[in-house]
Chain A
Amino acid sequence: MENSKAYLAGILVGFAAVAIAGFIAKVVFKKKIFSCEYDERQELIRGRAFKYGFLAMMVYFAVFGIGSGILDHELVPTRILCVIGIGIGLTVFAVYAIWHDAYYALKEKPTAYIVLFLAVIVLNVFAAVRFWVGHEPGVSPVSMNLIFAAVFLVILIVQLMKMAKDKKEEGM
């Protein structure tokens, strides 16, 4: 009985959270607090970036499928391998879009995102380190945190390289 009450409360809280998030999103987009407008060149580049990201993910999962068929035992849990695939797709998309100036919307500045990327990296690494203190090192659920930290680290490095390249070109 207690379990079913908790379950019901969980569902209600879930619905309430989604409703509140939906309302906030509606207000934010209606008032254009976050602009998600891209110009025609950016839309074109983003389309290509999605394509390359998707292809990279497909190749990864094909290799993963063949590999898991050949190998008898699982070296790494399937869910971790799936997250790696998503991470690869995401990284390819972001790197291509950043390098071709199509990652950020028209009125967005990369500096705010750099702070966000750093925060994501630090929080994910912190979560992994906190879990590993007192646990045996190895593959664990927090490996996903490290995968996302790695994805955002790559994105951050590419962003910084791109900014340096732009600065150099402006000086020429």
Chain B
Amino acid sequence: MKNLRLKSARAAKDMSQQELADAVGVSRQTVSAIEKGDYNPTIKLCLSICHILDRTLDELFWE
């Protein structure tokens, strides 16, 4: 299932996939896979993304 909340949170911060990927230390393809719902990130990566995007886990990853 696509993670549109992550995509919109990233867009709200005016960040590209590459910028978010660099900020959390993963590849651009990994960010793309998370947004497309092709990959379930670990809690560690989820927290890093939340920290960078100033959102909570619930806001970005909880169904």
Residues of A near any B CB (own CB < 8 A): 39-42, 101, 106
Contacts and interface: CB of A to CB of B under 8 A. Distances in A.
B27 A42 contact: yes
| Most chain B CB atoms below 10 A, which of A40, A41, A101 | A41
**Which range holds the interface residue count of chain B?**
10 to 19
A94 B60 CA distance: 34
Contacts of B25: 39, 106
A106 B42 CA distance: 18
A42 B32 CA distance: 13
Interface in B22-36: 25-27, 29-30, 33
Given A39-B26, A40-B44, 17 more contacts: A39-B25, A39-B30, A40-B30, A40-B41, A40-B42, A40-B45, A41-B27, A41-B29, A41-B30, A41-B33, A42-B27, A42-B30, A101-B27, A101-B29, A101-B30, A106-B26, A106-B27
A20 B25 CA distance: 33
Interface in B13-60: 25-27, 29-30, 33, 39, 41-42, 44-45
